[in-house]
Amino acid sequence: MAARFKQYQSLLRMLKDKCPAAFPVSVRRIKLSKLEGRCWKSGKQFHIQIDKGLDEGRAMDVLIHEWAHARAWNHRLDNAPTDEAFNKLAHDAAWGVAYAEIYAIYEQKFTTAHM
């Protein structure tokens, strides 16, 4: 990963340490044509992809969003009949709580007021 993404790398380490998901999470920055990021479960592992065209700040925002999906994943997502149903279920109250928990930890470590 490029040296300019030191904060992103630090965030990723923090997420793995302080905000683990039910299964291991693999994170990759790749070229995505239509999305900024995505998360899915395959067997007993989560996969997150972040568009490598994003600047570091936006990549960190997207990583937090996608990590919240891994933290809040439930069996209903595995059985969603359509992409629309999946997207609705993926942003439910459980996801909102996971996002809030992650963001609170992020703020403690990464905002200038706490550095």
> Using CA atoms, how far apart are residues 88 and 65, in angstroms rounded to an integer?
15
Q: Is 19 helix (H, G, I), strand (E, B) or coil?
A: coil
Encoded amino acid at 92, one letter = D
State pLDDT tens for residues 6-32. Answer: 999 999 999 999 999 999 999 999 999
Among 2-11, 37-46, 77-86, the least confident range: 77-86
pLDDT class for 89, splitting at 50, 70, 90?
Answer: confident
